[in-house]
Amino acid sequence: MWARRRSDPLVELFLNLPFRQSIAHLQQELAPASVSQLLEQTVAFYQLQLQRYSEGARYLEQRGLHDPVIIEELGIGYAPGGNLRGHLATLGYSFEVLLDIGLINQQGRDAFCRSVIFTCRQYGQIVNLYGRSIGTAFPHRLLPRSKGGLVAWDAIGHSSPVILVEGLFDPAVLWQAGLPTASFAANALPANALYLEIVRLVYNLVTAFQRHCLDESWQYLTLQKLRYRLFLIPGELTRPQNRPVLRLRPSPMIESLAETILARAARLKPLQP
């Protein structure tokens, strides 16, 4: 029995680890797992913490995200702080490995302390984690490594059309609303290049719309004020036949504006190829 339970006494002595953790440490040193496997175990831990700590779930609810299926599918979790290092140590990961990946800081504290966690996958593997702080820390944090491409692209890449949105919460909320074809461009060059091209196209379309379809009083409005006046309209999101439909309340002002826009648009000449 003693021979079966014996580990390396140097590990137990110098690292001050109990028997089970010293075995796990030796296994990790002899056969180091991939970074993706480490991140998978980290995400699984954060998902469990989301179920245990109500503050993470409350923050998601405030951001309009409450569907447990979507939350699980996107790999969303919560990092309360203070317990990640101990958990991963029992799986054999050393302080140096966790520090090198960026999961903990020099003091051994969770780098994502009090943050909602999103997973960034590429080709089915986790390549990074994004943390949205709900405390006083800097609101956005990513691990110091590749961010991957379009978020959830493995799930929606076959769809047409695809909606490219601005932030990680946006695709989650759109999926929840019945539009599972939204993605977010992470910090990969091809993804960001595509995103910037789309942003430029949208800006040009909005500018052309403002110049040619709106009257003179609208011409000098900033994009933010233009969006506010055009789209901050009382309405109700309904779901006839389980499809999201935005219904606007009857308003003479809105009807007059719509008629003006349509009349001006009808006078425009078609673009030449």
4-8, 151-155, 181-185: which has the minimum mean pLDDT?
Answer: 4-8
Residue 114: is it exposed, middle or buried by C-beta count within 10 angstroms (0-12/13-18/19+)?
Answer: buried
User: What is the CATH number assigned to the segment(s) 32-148?
Assistant: 3.90.980.10
Compute the distance between CA of residue 238 and CA of residue 245 in angstroms, rounded to an integer.
Answer: 5
Q: Is 78 left (phi over 0), alpha (psi -120 to 50) or beta?
A: beta
Compute the distance between CA of residue 7 and CA of residue 20 in angstroms, rounded to an integer.
Answer: 9
Domain locations in the chain as residue ranges: 32-148, 189-266
Highest mean pLDDT among 44-48, 153-157, 185-189, 245-249: 44-48
The per-residue pLDDT for range 121-144, each reduced to its tens digit, is 777 788 889 899 998 878 888 898
Long-range residue pairs from 143-147, CB within 8 A, at least 24 positions apart, any chain: 143/101, 143/102, 143/103, 143/111, 144/102, 145/35, 145/101, 145/102, 146/122, 146/188, 147/120, 147/186, 147/187, 147/188
Q: What pLDDT score does 14 carry?
A: 44
DSSP state of 62: H
